[in-house]
């Protein structure tokens, strides 16, 4: 298997795992489990860093004159990584909003007592 295929599968797998962690984090924040949410975001960030390193290996190889075959698999891998990077931004915003909602709901409960 060519190097670009190996890296493509790595990108798809690692970025997919990162996306899963980010979505788990968002769900945890809905349940007021903010410590868990932040821990899951950190796991997702670490995975994204691993995916970025895999992507960088292709860039370095290209800079060294090794031509990379651009095929549908590599395009899909790049798309998966980019979507996960974008999702990270939105998930972080959703977690912040869920945290604010959770705090406001707690204040309303206290007022209702």
Q: Which active-site residues does the annotation give?
A: 76
Of the candidates 99, 108, 103, the one whose C-alpha atom is nearest the C-alpha of residue 30 is 99
DSSP 32: T
Of the candidates 82, 60, 81, 73, the one whose C-alpha atom is nearest the C-alpha of residue 8 is 73
Is residue 99 a known part of a binding site?
no
Annotated binding site, which residues?
79
Annotated binding site for Mg(2+), which residues?
79
């Amino acid at each position: 298997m060519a190097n670009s295929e190996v890296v493509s599968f790595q990108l798809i797998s690692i970025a997919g795992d990162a996306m899963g962690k980010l979505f788990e984090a968002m769900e945890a924040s809905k349940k007021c489990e903010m410590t868990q949410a932040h821990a899951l975001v950190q796991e997702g960030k670490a995975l994204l860093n691993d995916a970025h390193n895999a992507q960088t290996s292709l860039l370095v190889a290209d800079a060294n004159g090794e031509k990379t075959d651009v095929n549908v698999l590599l395009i899909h891998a790049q798309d998966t990584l980019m979507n996960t990077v974008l999702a990270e931004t939105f998930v972080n915003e959703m977690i912040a909003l869920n945290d604010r909602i959770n705090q406001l709901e707690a204040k309303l409960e206290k007022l209702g007592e």
